[in-house]
């Protein structure tokens, strides 16, 4: 067999067998990171040996046996193990625990509640889906480095928390299964309605979620919710071909050609729903959602849909899961069952919920209900506002098209968006002031819509935006945004729309400082990227400000003297930074010392001084550097807020 064909075979076998192999190794070594490393060693061995020896008759068993042998070798080599532990390793090698239990354990660990949602998703696709970091990154439109860091952080968290490999029972098992179901459905939803990018759907994620859901239903056949989730995903996936138009635009459910719905997937969904009901117990959230999907699938036409039944099911779902998004879906159902005014009243009760502040479907649903009520001007504004909030290009184009299809009389006078742009483009404002003002006005435009006639802007609208967006912020932040509104109103000759916003009393508190022991823990982390390690060490070892250090160019450095010129002053450093800097530069001789992970897009070309001529990457921004440090140090900060970079130079 040609080498290329052999490699393809190895890749295919790995995707099918990796979860079982890693799960079996986890039972032996009780360390998810080590289990994956040992499984990867077996994969490398296959890539090296199979092209010459041929693919074995049972490639999955070959990989499993090879990985287990490496696990036993690892245990034997460990100097910390006693003779009794070596005997245990031999016993574990021979032990034939149920394979299904192993995989279920791995699912529960990958989706453990101690992990962040993004980490759970990445771990599940990596360990149970057999996807590479690059494949996961492409699916979620991030870099492979981000995915690798998430997975490494997840493994470290599992080790630090001492998460056991044993199967839980009773209430704990139900809670852990709920976390697995949530992750699988998150993966499916990202594939079914992509949150960003150019395409409406990412079919690969839908297929992977369906595979994982079916696997979980096999592993836990008595769990009604596992079967219900499969039913929900099968029926939703059946509409995939009908929900995208010829130009890639979304087609709404009531406009879809139901003849294009996949009847095989619908039948599979009905069968899974039957198994869920046979499992018994009170209906859970996935069973109720699956019942709603069944109502849609059973209707021959959109007009035949039993919206009253769907509204009742959403009412029951709200009792179990009273989240804002479920309540928004209930409002849609009520609008279809009992009229748009009924639905609009429910939607309006959600407009001040901070959770839905940037959720594009809220103004989209509101626009649809307003259009049905004949309130076309308001509907048009809502569709434009929804378009400004979505990060998906296909959906954005669709929403703009819906807005443009509504014929209304163009308002006289400037719009909020145009006035905000003119206000910020004045020549008498400094860059820092423009940045500060821009934060406030961009939020107002997102919340109220760029197309809102400026003359119709009211104090009540401004107060609602402040309450939703900045109601829980520090007094200083509240007062800054309030001041911006007052300046904008004075410039635009409007009445002071901030009159109803009281100025808050400010109290200054010193920002927390990481303790030396916390920094020692930070420096010792093996997964810390070289760029961050170097930047943070340099800030710690010098007294320079963050912006001064980020502005350094390679030409400014004197590595032998351990110093660099910035403006009229010098930045100096000690041995650890001196060791790291040459590694970071990696032969580069010009441009910024600290550069971003990716090259800038065509529309975001930086100034030549901020562009690395060797890599094409731009200078690392202060905002990005600050964000990465705060995110990394959240686990060190007792308040879980993370530390600011400026505190590093305050330490001895």
Q: Annotate 358-423 with DSSP letters as a single string.
A: T-THHHHHHHHHHHHTT-HHHHHHHHHHHHHH-EEHHHHHHHHHHHHTS--PPPSS-BHHHHHHHH
- The stretch 127-155 carries a mean pLDDT of 83
Q: With CA atoms as reference, report the closest residue to 333 among 303, 313, 319.
A: 313
- Looking at residue 3, its pLDDT comes to 56
CA distance 488 to 483: 9
Give the tens place of pLDDT for each residue, 242-256: 999 888 889 999 999
User: Is the pLDDT confidence value at 95 over 50?
Assistant: no
- pLDDT, greater one: 433 or 3: 433
- Looking at residue 175, its pLDDT comes to 79
Q: How confident is the model at residue 431 (pLDDT cuts 50, 70, 90)?
A: confident
Of 103-112, 172-181, 322-331, 387-396, the range with the highest mean pLDDT is 322-331
User: Is the pLDDT confidence value at 429 over 70?
Assistant: yes
CATH 1.10.3720.10 fits domain 416-500: no
Of 113-117, 162-166, 212-216, the range with the highest mean pLDDT is 212-216
CA distance 239 to 241: 6
User: Is the pLDDT confidence value at 92 over 60?
Assistant: no
Question: May I ask the CATH architecture of the domain 516-650?
Answer: Orthogonal Bundle (1.10)
Q: How confident is the model at residue 604 (pLDDT cuts 50, 70, 90)?
A: low
User: Is the pLDDT confidence value at 93 over 50?
Assistant: no
> Coil, strand or helix: which one is 250?
strand
Of 219-223, 407-411, 595-599, the range with the highest mean pLDDT is 219-223
User: Is the pLDDT confidence value at 79 over 80?
Assistant: no
Whether residue 220 contacts residue 177, with contact meaning beta carbons closer than 8 Å, is answered with yes
- Looking at residue 97, its pLDDT comes to 47
Classify residue 310 as exposed, middle or buried by CB count within 10 Å of its CB (0-12, 13-18, 19+): buried
- Looking at residue 81, its pLDDT comes to 47
- Looking at residue 326, its pLDDT comes to 94
- pLDDT, greater one: 627 or 39: 627
Whether residue 311 contacts residue 334, with contact meaning beta carbons closer than 8 Å, is answered with yes
- Looking at residue 32, its pLDDT comes to 76
- Looking at residue 567, its pLDDT comes to 76
Q: Where are the alpha helices (DSSP H) in 95-165?
A: 99-110, 117-127, 133-140, 144-161
- The stretch 452-471 carries a mean pLDDT of 92
pLDDT, averaged across the chain: 86
Name the DSSP class of 239: T
- For the CA atoms of 135, 136, 141, 145, what is the dihedral angle to 10 degrees? -90
Give the tens place of pLDDT for each residue, 279-332: 988 999 999 999 999 999 999 999 999 999 999 999 999 999 999 999 999 999
Angle 601-607-609 (CA atoms, 0-180°, nearest 5)?
Answer: 125
CA distance 317 to 549: 53
Q: With CA atoms as reference, report the closest residue to 306 among 290, 319, 295.
A: 295
Of 40-44, 173-177, 625-629, the range with the highest mean pLDDT is 625-629
Could you tell me what percent of the chain has a pLDDT over 70? Answer: 92
- Looking at residue 4, its pLDDT comes to 61
- pLDDT, greater one: 151 or 365: 365
Q: How confident is the model at residue 131 (pLDDT cuts 50, 70, 90)?
A: confident
Question: In angstroms, what CA-CA distances link 285 with 222, 224, 309, 470, 556?
Answer: 16, 11, 16, 32, 60
User: Is the pLDDT confidence value at 88 over 50?
Assistant: no
- Looking at residue 508, its pLDDT comes to 66
- Looking at residue 90, its pLDDT comes to 46
CA distance 422 to 439: 15
Residues 6+ apart with CB under 8 A from 452: 381, 415, 416, 417
- Looking at residue 415, its pLDDT comes to 93
Give the tens place of pLDDT for each residue, 463-504: 999 999 998 888 989 999 999 999 999 999 999 899 889 999
Question: In angstroms, what CA-CA distances link 187 with 32, 181, 396, 471, 612?
Answer: 21, 10, 22, 32, 36
Question: Would you kindly state where each structural domain of the chain is located, as residue ranges?
Answer: 416-500, 516-650
Tokens matching residue 115: 């992990």
Task: Print the SS3 string covering 606-651.
Answer: CCHHHECCCCCCEECCHHHHHHHHHHHCCCCCCCCCCCCHHHHHHC
CA distance 528 to 544: 22
Could you tell me what percent of the chain has a pLDDT over 90? Answer: 43
User: Is the pLDDT confidence value at 527 over 50?
Assistant: yes
Give the tens place of pLDDT for each residue, 566-587: 877 889 999 999 999 999 998 8
- The stretch 383-394 carries a mean pLDDT of 91
């Amino acid at each position: 067999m040609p080498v290329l064909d052999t490699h393809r075979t190895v890749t295919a076998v790995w995707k099918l067998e990796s979860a079982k192999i890693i799960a079996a190794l986890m039972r032996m070594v009780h360390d998810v990171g080590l289990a994956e490393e040992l499984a990867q060693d077996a994969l490398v061995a296959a890539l090296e040996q199979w092209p010459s020896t041929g693919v074995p008759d049972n490639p999955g068993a070959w990989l499993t046996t090879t990985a287990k042998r490496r696990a036993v070798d690892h245990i034997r080599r460990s100097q910390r193990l006693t003779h009794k532990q070596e005997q245990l390793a031999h016993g574990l090698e021979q032990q034939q625990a149920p394979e299904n239990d192993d995989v279920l354990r791995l699912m529960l660990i990958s989706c453990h509640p101690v992990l962040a949602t993004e980490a759970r998703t990445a771990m599940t696709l990596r360990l149970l889906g057999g996807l590479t970091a690059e494949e996961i990154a492409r699916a979620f439109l991030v870099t492979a480095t981000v995915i690798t860091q998430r997975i490494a952080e997840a493994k470290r968290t599992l080790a630090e928390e001492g998460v056991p490999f044993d199967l839980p029972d009773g209430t704990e098992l139900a809670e852990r299964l709920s976390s697995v179901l949530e992750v699988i459905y998150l993966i499916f939803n990202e594939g079914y309605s992509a949150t960003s990018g150019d395409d409406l759907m990412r079919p690969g994620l839908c297929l992977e979620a369906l595979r994982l859901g079916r696997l979980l239903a096999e592993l836990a056949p008595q769990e009604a919710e596992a079967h219900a989730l499969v039913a929900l995903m099968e029926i939703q996936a059946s509409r995939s071909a009908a929900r995208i138009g010829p130009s890639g635009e979304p087609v709404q459910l009531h406009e879809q050609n139901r003849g294009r719905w996949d009847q095989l997937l619908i039948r599979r969904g009905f069968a899974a729903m039957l198994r869920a009901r046979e499992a018994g117990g009170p209906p859970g959230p996935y069973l109720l959602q699956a019942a709603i999907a069944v109502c849609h699938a059973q209707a021959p036409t959109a007009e035949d849909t039993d919206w009253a039944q769907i509204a009742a099911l959403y009412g029951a779902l709200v009792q179990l899961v009273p989240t804002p998004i479920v309540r928004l879906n209930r409002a849609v159902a009520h609008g279809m069952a009992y009229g748009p005014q009924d639905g609009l009243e429910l939607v309006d009760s959600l407009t001040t919920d901070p959770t839905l502040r940037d959720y594009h479907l809220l103004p989209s649903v509101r626009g649809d209900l307003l259009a049905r009520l004949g309130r076309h001007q308001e509907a048009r504004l809502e569709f434009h506002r929804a378009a400004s909030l979505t990060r998906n290009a296909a959906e954005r184009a669709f929403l703009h098209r819906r807005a443009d299809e509504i014929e209304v009389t163009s308002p006289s006078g400037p719009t909020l968006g145009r006035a905000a742009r003119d206000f910020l483009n004045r020549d008498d404002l400094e860059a820092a002031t423009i940045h500060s003002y821009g934060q406030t006005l961009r939020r107002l435009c997102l919340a109220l819509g760029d197309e809102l006639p400026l003359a119709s802007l009211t104090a009540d609208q401004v107060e609602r935006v402040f309450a939703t967006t900045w109601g829980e912020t520090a007094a200083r932040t509240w007062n800054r945004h309030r001041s911006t509104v007052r300046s904008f109103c004075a410039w635009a000759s409007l009445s002071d729309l901030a009159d109803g916003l009281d100025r808050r009393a400010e109290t200054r508190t010193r920002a927390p400082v990481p303790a030396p022991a916390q920094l020692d823990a930070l420096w010792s982390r093996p997964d810390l990227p070289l760029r961050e390690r170097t930047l943070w060490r340099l800030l710690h070892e010098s007294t320079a400000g963050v912006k001064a250090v980020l502005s350094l160019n390679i030409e400014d450095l004197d590595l032998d003297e351990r110093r660099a010129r910035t403006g009229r002053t010098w930045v100096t450093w000690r041995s650890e930074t001196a060791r790291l800097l040459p590694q970071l530069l990696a032969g580069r001789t010009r441009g910024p010392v600290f550069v971003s992970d990716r090259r800038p897009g065509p529309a975001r070309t930086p100034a030549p001084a901020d562009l690395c001529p060797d890599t094409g990457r731009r200078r690392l921004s202060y905002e990005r550097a600050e964000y990465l440090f705060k995110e990394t140090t959240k686990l060190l900060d007792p308040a879980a807020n993370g530390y600011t970079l400026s505190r590093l130079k305050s330490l001895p």
